[in-house]
Amino acid sequence: MAGKRIDEHTLRVLEFEEVKAILASFAASELGRDAARGLYPSVDRHWVQARIAETTELTKVLERGERVPMAGLRDIRAVLKEFGKKETVLEPAELIEISDTLAASGRLRLFLTNLEPAQSRHLYAMGEKLGDFQPTVDEIGRCIGGDKRVRDDASDKLKEIRRRIGQLSEVIHQKFMSIIASPGLRKAIENGNFLMRHGRPVVAVKAQYRNFVRGTVLDRSNTGATLYIEPDELVELSNDLEDAVFEEKKEVGRILWVLTKMILDEQEAILDSVKTLALVDLTYAKARFSIAYRMSPADVGAGASLNLREAYHPLLLQLAARQKNCPVTQLTEEVVPIDVRLGDDFDLLLVTGPNTGGKTVVLKTIGLLTTMAQSGMHIPARAGSRVPIYRQVFADIGDEQSIQQSLSTFSAHMGQIVKILERTNDGTLVLLDELGAGTDPIEGAVLATAILEKLRQRGGTVVATTHLGQLKSFAYTAPRAQNGSVQFDLETLKPTYRLMIGTPGSSNAIVIAKRLGMPKDVVGKASSLLATESDGTSELINQIQATREDAERKRAEAQSLLDEAGAARSEAAERLQRVEDEGRRLRGQADREIDDSMQAVRRLAEEFAAQMQNAPSTWSQKAQDFAGRVAELAAGTPLAQRHSEFIEALRRGDSVYVVPFRREGIVERVRKNRGTIIVFVDSKQVEVPLGEIAKPNGESRTP
């Protein structure tokens, strides 16, 4: 992945790993899960746009109800890499894993390259990178059975050896049964079961009757009371069986080596395809994640502004779904969305208000959705949301207290902020939680003001939360700064988690205390003291706040009108696209029907001319002329003309699709006078009629 890496500490506090774990759960294989776990935000805009486009295209495929053939994917990278170390043949189980993966590669290649290129160009390009290893898959399937053993008919020699083994085994068993059935041995036999010791057939004989059976003792029981004797009559047969088994092992080893060499010859191409398969599965996981969490693709254009509309925190959605025991798509009011913008008319958003938890959710939602978008994922926000490509993201969120370093919470926060100040520049997103907390409120406020000023000077885009009321005036007076707050319900005494831009938060301490039963005289005294402490700026701030709120309301109304216009424009564009697509489909269908009809008439005319060969010359010539005229008309259909132009432009080395073989081939020579073409298909040279050749990814035409 191109570009610098986003700060590790930031990703940790934003819980990006937890989001990747959810993403990994939607993958179809370990290949995709491993790719999801290794995903990282990029600062390369083109890379991000391409990955989001892939996700969008596959999401549309799934929403149409199409089934993506993901079955059979295996992570065979370790098998191929380990092979070089152990220097032996691949085992049948390993060959089946490889075959399943190669078959999946072929199925996905066919599926992706059969998608409409105009609508799925990224998926189409991904499909073209996948290899078609069907000959290898077929050979492994011919030689290895579902029981993970080499099949009898993998070679004529193996088939004969196993037939010989079966015959010898049957003869040995019959001989064994005749031996133990001998009346003279009945009292000597411990049991009549067919037994094997060291790969040889033996008879279980009571020790005291050892001399009753002529043969070699190969084993004895723990007590010594039973001897396991190989009868002399079976020695020669057993030797023959051992020889046959040895030959079988050699032949199986030879077959496995042939199959192994097939894999090794294509190892580089296979590993390239496996790499692409991992990306396909990762995209599949992103698409399923998007559908399950009602996500949309963010606009990650070249602009520097962020605009999240009806954005949700994905981990809160997951938590709510678990609590309700329902899919995320069924959640409606359990998680409140936020609307937040940055970078247009302000670059610093200061979210003030009491410590209710809502402010931290706002910070994490902004940071997490930004890193998700820069990782090529859709985001849980309304369509039309915009995310710039930040070159770096820093976050100082939560309790950073370090017991090991004996640092207070304030000291730990300051240590992190110092690092952020040193590294912040243009294109950096900075998220600061409870700025100025953990120390004297006055000192905390002035220090927070200085920090914000410094971050602004260094070109950072900043979202900071604080419960210090003194900072409200900073956002009113500082250029390109704005106040915000998380709405608080004074009736329920709980945050609504809805972000209000342009409105500073209030601690509501006196109101909350009153509702919780604080004595009236205490509430009254606090109110009078608050009025005394006022420095006269409250009225001015209230006037500014009212103006800002009115502006935000008008902005929201304007945005709503723009949304309606955009939706109407998109609907009209989609309708026009559907009409154009249907027109193309109908034209193509008409061209094929015309061509099929003309080809049928041409064949009838040729048959008629052939039958008229023995007629008087005048009639025979007329029949020939008629057939020639029909052939000219058949060659003039739109489909025939396009095919003729395609054939005319062919040159040696061009790729073509060979219809009878359902494979792509390489042109060696075009024989127009004979109406044939010589192509290489799977390294074999074949000659086929020109009518059985088509564009590699285009329409085919058969005469």
Distance CA 359, CA 660 (A): 65
Judged against a pLDDT cut of 50, whether residue 676 lies above it is answered with yes
Tell me if residue 334 falls in helix, strand or coil: coil
Q: Over range 645-669, report the average pLDDT.
A: 79
Phi, psi dihedral angles at 332 (to 5 degrees): -125, -60
Q: Which residues pair with 489 in a beta bridge?
A: 494
Distance CA 574, CA 578 (A): 6
Q: Which DSSP category does 376 fall into?
A: T
> What integer pLDDT is reported at residue 515 of this predicted model?
67
Name the pLDDT band for 274 (thresholds 50, 70, 90): very high
Question: What tokens appear for 404 in the block?
Answer: 């090991």
Distance CA 109, CA 131 (A): 7
Distance CA 487, CA 493 (A): 11
Q: 137-141, 154-158, 650-654: which has the minimum mean pLDDT?
A: 650-654
Contact 485, 505 (CB under 8 A): yes
Q: Which amino acid is residue 556, in one-letter code?
A: A
Distance CA 291, CA 8 (A): 28
Q: 72-76, 241-245, 514-518, 665-669: which has the minimum mean pLDDT?
A: 514-518
> What integer pLDDT is reported at residue 700 of this predicted model?
42
The 10s digit of each residue's pLDDT in 569-612 is 767 777 777 776 677 667 666 666 665 666 676 677 667 667 77
Q: What is the pairing mode between strands 461-466 and 494-501?
A: unpaired
Most confident of 64-73, 276-285, 443-452: 276-285
Share of the chain above pLDDT 90, in %: 34
CA atoms within 13 A on the CB side of 303: 14
> What integer pLDDT is reported at residue 22 of this predicted model?
95
The 10s digit of each residue's pLDDT in 462-504 is 999 887 777 877 877 888 888 888 776 656 556 666 787 877 7
**Domains in the chain, ordered, with CATH?**
8-133+266-292 (1.10.1420), 154-251 (1.10.1420.10), 306-533 (3.40.50.300), 566-634 (no CATH), 641-694 (2.30.30.140)
b or e along 239-260 (b: 16 or more beta carbons within 10 Å of the residue's beta carbon)? Answer: ebbeebbebbeebbeebbeebb
Query: At which residue do the structure tokens 């509702």 appear?
Result: 515
> What integer pLDDT is reported at residue 636 of this predicted model?
62
Judged against a pLDDT cut of 50, whether residue 106 lies above it is answered with yes
pTM over 0.95: no
Instruction: Answer with the residue of higher pLDDT: 25 or 629.
Output: 25
State the SS3 of 152-199: HHHCHHHHHHHHHHHHHHHHHHHHHHHHHCCHHHCCCECCCCCEEECC
Instruction: Answer with the residue of higher pLDDT: 600 or 195.
Output: 195
Instruction: Answer with the residue of higher pLDDT: 411 or 537.
Output: 411
Contact 384, 566 (CB under 8 A): yes
Q: Which DSSP category does 272 fall into?
A: H
- Please give the helix or strand (H or E) that residue 388 lies within, else none: none
CA atoms within 13 A on the CB side of 256: 20
Q: 344-353, 426-435, 646-655: which has the minimum mean pLDDT?
A: 646-655
- Please give the helix or strand (H or E) that residue 449 lies within, else none: helix 441-457
Distance CA 299, CA 389 (A): 10
Summary mean pLDDT of the chain: 81
Nearest CA to 261 out of 139, 101, 150 is that of: 139
Distance CA 257, CA 621 (A): 64
Q: Which amino acid is residue 243, in one-letter code?
A: D
Distance CA 358, CA 500 (A): 12
Tell me if residue 237 falls in helix, strand or coil: helix
Instruction: Answer with the residue of higher pLDDT: 395 or 605.
Output: 395
Nearest CA to 380 out of 390, 370, 369 is that of: 369
Nearest CA to 150 out of 256, 247, 245, 250 is that of: 256
Name the pLDDT band for 658 (thresholds 50, 70, 90): confident
Contact 152, 146 (CB under 8 A): no
DSSP letter string, 464-492: EEE--GGGHHHHHHSTTEEEEEEEEETTT
Q: Over range 212-240, report the average pLDDT.
A: 86
Contact 112, 121 (CB under 8 A): no
560: exposed, middle or buried (C-beta count within 10 Å: 0-12, 13-18, 19+)? exposed
Judged against a pLDDT cut of 50, whether residue 441 lies above it is answered with yes
Name the pLDDT band for 690 (thresholds 50, 70, 90): confident
Judged against a pLDDT cut of 60, whether residue 549 lies above it is answered with no
Nearest CA to 530 out of 542, 518, 522 is that of: 522
Measured between its terminal Cα atoms, the distance across the chain in Å is 48
Name the pLDDT band for 703 (thresholds 50, 70, 90): very low
Judged against a pLDDT cut of 80, whether residue 341 lies above it is answered with yes
